[in-house]
Amino acid sequence: MTDTTDPEAGATNAFGSLKIDFGGRLGTPVPTPAGGSSLNPFGGGISIIGGGAADAAPIAGGPPATASAEGPTKSNVLIIGSGPAGLTAAIYAARANLSPIVLAGSAPGGQLMLTSEIENYPGFPEGIDGPELMGRFRAQAARFGTHIVDVDIDRVDLSERPFRAWARGVEYTGESLIIATGASALWLNLESEQRLRGRGVSACATCDGFFFRDREIAVVGGGDSAMEEANYLTRFASKVHLLHRRDGFRASKIMIDRTYGNPKIEVHTNAAIDEVVGDTKVEALRVKDTRTGDVREMRIEGLFVAIGHKPNTDVFAGWLETDEKGYLVAHEHTNSRIPGVFIAGDVQDHRYRQAVTAAGDGARAAIDAERWLESEGIAEHQTATAW
Ligand code: NAP
């Protein structure tokens, strides 16, 4: 691999000149034939595919996407989040002439930006890279007049209409609000794990598995995600160690059986990771036996963390209801408990968590918002629905 770019500089991708950093130091971008860049987990972690649909020309009059505070800050539909749910909501709202604003986050595109190939999104029989798919969503939303701002919100005020959200000191308002902030992977939160993220530590087997061909690696977790990732990674790795802190699994029986039946996977129960060993890349794990306290070193070159997800709801604390797992609660259809505030996608869904279900949710939320705006006398509905 050849170093061509300052790893601190981030990566240019289908979103234009956006700087992407999914947390921790990014690795070393290397050129790819696709014209984008990929990041090697021995010094990096994600694949960014450039060009393509995001370069599509907006229709005349459609505002461009922006990473600054330029452009409108008041809208009929304010959308927070830019994964499949948020951008589908934007496509629907924009086509209904509601001029939505999307506050897309500083790492826009959601979890699909961490996925190398999506084979189950309808319409792409050959599969499509996650970043490219999200670039297409974004181009489609922008084409119909969505104003997209790549900022994280700091706080919201949902006490009255218009609803308000602040990002980098700028106040954005929406006569209605669609929350589609998604969920993020959980980490062990070891100093060594965070330091070596993108340098052999990853939370995305589908993004980074390829880089571990013929290497010995480990997966941590005892749920379906860990089992699924461990099995997937045997396509590349010479051996996969699955480490779980207890001897009982949360995973389904079929996944447990598949894992134990895979000759390339060795399961270690009662095994907690104390430390990821390595200065600039992963060299080993210090693994503690949770029953005896004994610590041993396990030589591996990669660690995949698959210990679940956390919905991105912190900023809505006190305003909206959450369930026992911390996910937002939608009542009838996509309604939150506050009239005019709608919820879509993984931020309220720990069951399906699919791009296509999130996109469907986004469409539902936009139609619900449109109908609600009409009921409040703010806008006439445009999207034909049967009710
Ligand atoms: P999960 O079911 O919540 O499992 C998380 C696992 O990580 C648990 O075994 C937990 O250990 C472990 N863990 C959590 N924090 C940890 C820490 N700090 N250190 C070490 N281990 C830690 O999450 P998931 O596997 O992501 O699954 C989430 C949902 O998606 C589930 O409903 C699952 O069925 C579904 N899913 C389904 C499929 C499929 O059907 N193919 C694939 C993926 C996910 P403890 O058990 O000790 O708490």
Tokens of 128: 């499509």
DSSP code at position 348: G
Residue range 191-305, CATH number: 3.50.50.60
Task: Give the start-to-end residue ranges of the domains of the chain.
Answer: 54-183+310-375, 191-305
Q: Is residue 17 predicted with pLDDT exceeding 60?
A: no
Kindly indicate whether the domain formed by 54-183+310-375 is annotated with CATH number 2.60.40.10.
no
- Chain segment 239-282, per-residue pLDDT in tens: 999 999 999 999 999 999 999 999 999 999 999 999 999 999 99
pLDDT of amino acid 107: 86
Angstrom distance (rounded) from CA 134 to CA 112: 7
Closest ligand 1 atom number to CA of residue 309:
26
CA of 253 to the centre of ligand 1 (A): 13
Distant-in-sequence, close-in-space partners of 48: CB < 8 Å, separation ≥ 6 = 11, 12, 13, 14, 20, 29, 36, 37, 38, 39, 113, 131
Q: Could you say which of 55, 129, 157, 208 is catalytic?
A: 208
Is the CB of 188 within 6 Å of ligand 1? Answer: yes
Is the CB of 155 within 6 Å of ligand 1? Answer: no
Distant-in-sequence, close-in-space partners of 245: CB < 8 Å, separation ≥ 6 = 222, 270, 271, 272, 290
Nearest CA to ligand 1 atom 5: 307
Is the CB of 308 within 6 Å of ligand 1? Answer: yes
Nearest CA to ligand 1 atom 31: 224
The alpha carbon of residue 332 and the mean position of all alpha carbons in its chain are separated, in whole angstroms, by 26
Provide the residue type at 1 as one letter: M
pTM summary value? 0.73
Specify whether 207 is catalytic: yes
Q: Could you say which of 150, 204, 346, 368 is catalytic?
A: 204
Q: Is residue 194 predicted with pLDDT exceeding 70?
A: yes
Specify whether 274 is catalytic: no
Angstrom distance (rounded) from CA 167 to CA 275: 36
Identify whether 131 is preceded by a cis peptide bond (ω within 30 of 0): no
Closest ligand 1 atom number to CA of residue 248:
46
Band (32; pLDDT cuts 50, 70, 90): very low
CA of 45 to the centre of ligand 1 (A): 22
Give the Cα-Cα-Cα angle 337, 342, 91 (nearest 5 degrees): 175
- Chain segment 214-233, per-residue pLDDT in tens: 999 999 999 998 999 999 99
54-183+310-375 shares its CATH topology with 191-305: yes
pLDDT of amino acid 11: 34
Q: Is residue 309 predicted with pLDDT exceeding 60?
A: yes
Mean pLDDT, the chain, as a whole number? 83
pLDDT of amino acid 153: 96
Specify whether 6 is catalytic: no
CA of 301 to the centre of ligand 1 (A): 23
Band (21; pLDDT cuts 50, 70, 90): very low
- Chain segment 152-172, per-residue pLDDT in tens: 999 999 999 999 999 999 999
Nearest CA to ligand 1 atom 35: 224
